[in-house]
Structure 1
Amino acid sequence: MASKLTTLHTIKDEPARSPDDVYAAIKDAVTSGQYGAGEYLREEQLAKSLGVSRTPVREALRRLDADGWVETRPNYGVRVKAWTLQDAREIFEARLLVEPYLAGRAALSIGVSDIERLQTLADAMLEITHRPSTPESSEAWFSANAEFHAIITAAGNNSRLDRSLRSMKETPLIKWTFGTYSDDDRARSARQHFEIVCALKQRNAAWTEAAMRCHILAAENAVLDRPNRGQPTP
């Protein structure tokens, strides 16, 4: 327990000043894996580490509970949510409903500079597939992939759907899914990124939507149909 309490004091170097700052700081600590699944978050320790009173911490924990990042257990406290394979299935289902639609819309309005950036990111991800798989290469892949998809969904010009999609993708579960990818999975995903870029260049909404749908379905298959890989809580 002592080691966990020590970790609590390293969330943020500078004191948070607003309720939004407190929320973001705790959320960042959860998404980065600083707190493990099932670990309790203590108001007093969080307030001390962030340089604030317990009131904004309490409010931040309520928001994190409402957003599905933590869960409140009466008489015990607030703990980090343990993600399950069912959570992964639900996220993929939601992505399949929203993301191809936004990609198709993006094909009709995305700017040239955004397409050029997507090409650069696709090139970078292809280059990563030629390296040995390491934690650093996986992190580089995750970062490039996240930016790639964020550019496309933002170009879909539906801010509410885009925000909802981004919220789902911020979960620690998303990083876990990338950790399950084999070298072949990454190579396949890299090729699909190039097809999506090609469809966007052609301003072909139907093609872009179909390419994005196939991309997500392939990712779902790679993650959920490999029972021998590391998994979150069953």
Structure 2
Amino acid sequence: MNQPTFAETPRVARTATAEVHNVIKQRILDGHYRAHEYVREASVARELDVSRTPVREALRELVSEGWLEAIPHHGARVVAWTEKDAREVFELRLVLEPMAVKLASERMDNVRLAHLEALAGRMEALVERIEREPGVRNEIAFLNHDFHRELITASDNQRLVAVLDSVVRTSVIRRNFGNYDLTNLRRSMRHHREMLEAIAAGSPEWAANVMRAHLLAAQALHVRFPDSPDGPGASSE
């Protein structure tokens, strides 16, 4: 796969840092960089054809944001998410995402709704191929992330969008779609469809309740609760 190349001049130094930041973050989300793996400054600079300065700045930012951790005398490595992290993320998402979907339902336009329906349709088609083509899980994960991001953005509340981006960027679902068997995937797709039906019907409360059910179902797959010792193993979704 061709790597992006960034021209670097003093005028675009900040842009180069931002681009490197985005590439590294995307690689973490995609699983290209795994938990506890070191992200080497020299390697990234060489791959992206930039000097080490924007890479160094991008790594510092990613450490401050919680994506990486700085290990003295070793460098920056990808943070491993714990069960506690996953539980905290779900606690926040269960409050904020239904709110975002409720607002989105009140402000949705036909163009964006059509785009969401297209995303839902593509995911549904891929789910039906998953047993014979396991590799499509990655594509489903990408589309799922886009679906949720588009719904959140449609709320037209920039502060809510920013807070949710900060929470969801841990990408619980996107990192571990492997936890979902075919039955769970189909249920997730039905939730997507029902949310869109609720929005099309002009029922914000219905849409918000479906989102809450959607998140609760995901939470049950990825967080072990104290009263459910035989429940699913912990994961950072």
The TM-score with structure 2 as length reference comes to: 0.83
Aligned length: 223
Quickly say closer, same or farther: Cα 1:122–1:61, change in 2 above 3 A.
Answer: same
Q: Deviations over 1:177-199 (max 9, x none)?
A: 31100111111111111211111
Aligned counterpart, 1:147: 146
Counterpart of 2:139, as a letter, is A
CA offsets, 1:137-177, max 9 Å, x none?
Answer: 21232222222222211111112221332343333643233
Counterpart residue type for residue 149 of structure 1: H
Post-superposition CA distance 1:55-93 (Å, at most 9, x none): 222211111011111001223321111122222222211
Distance 2:6 2:105 in 1: 43
What are the residue-to-residue correspondences of 1:1-234 with 2, within 5 Å?
12-15=3-6, 17=8, 18-133=16-131, 134-171=133-170, 173-225=172-224, 231=235
Mean CA deviation greater in 24-33 or 63-72: 24-33
Structure 1 gap segments, 5+ residues each:
1-9
* Identity of matched residues, %: 35
Distance 1:16 1:181 in 2: 41
Pair 104,43 (structure 1): closer, same or farther in 2 beyond 3 Å: same
Supply the distance in 2 between the matched residues of 1:24 and 1:183 (Cα, whole angstroms). 32
Which is worse superposed, 223-232 or 146-155? 223-232
Give, in angstroms, the shift of residue 29 of structure 1: 2.8
Instruction: Confirm or deny: 8 A CA contact 1:16 1:50 kept in the other structure.
Output: no
Hey, what's the Cα distance between the residues in 2 that align with 1:193 and 1:176?
A: 19
Equivalent pair of 2:33/2:78 in contact (CA under 8 Å): yes
Evaluate the alpha carbon distance shift between residue 146 and residue 46 of structure 1 in structure 2; reply closer, same or farther with a 3 A threshold: closer
SS in structure 1 at match of 2:44: helix
Mark the runs of 5 or more structure 2 residues left unpaired by the alignment: 9-15, 225-229
Distance 1:107 1:228 in 2: 33
Superposition TM-score, scaled by structure 1 size = 0.83
| Aligned-partner SS, 2:135 | helix
CA distance, structure 2, for counterparts of residue 228 and residue 98 of structure 1: 24
Partner in structure 1 of residue 13 of structure 2: none
The 1-side partners of 2:47 and 2:119 are apart by 37
| C-alpha distance in 2 between matches for 1:94 and 1:198 | 25
Q: Deviations over 1:109-150 (max 9, x none)?
A: 100122222223323333333323343321232222222222
RMSD, aligned CA: 2.4
1:52: how far off? 2.7
Identify if the C-alpha distance between structure 1 residues 16 and 50 changes in structure 2 by more than 3 Å, giving closer, same or farther.
farther
Find the aligned partners of 1:35 and 1:177 in 2 and give their Cα distance: 14
Counterpart of 2:227 in structure 1 is none
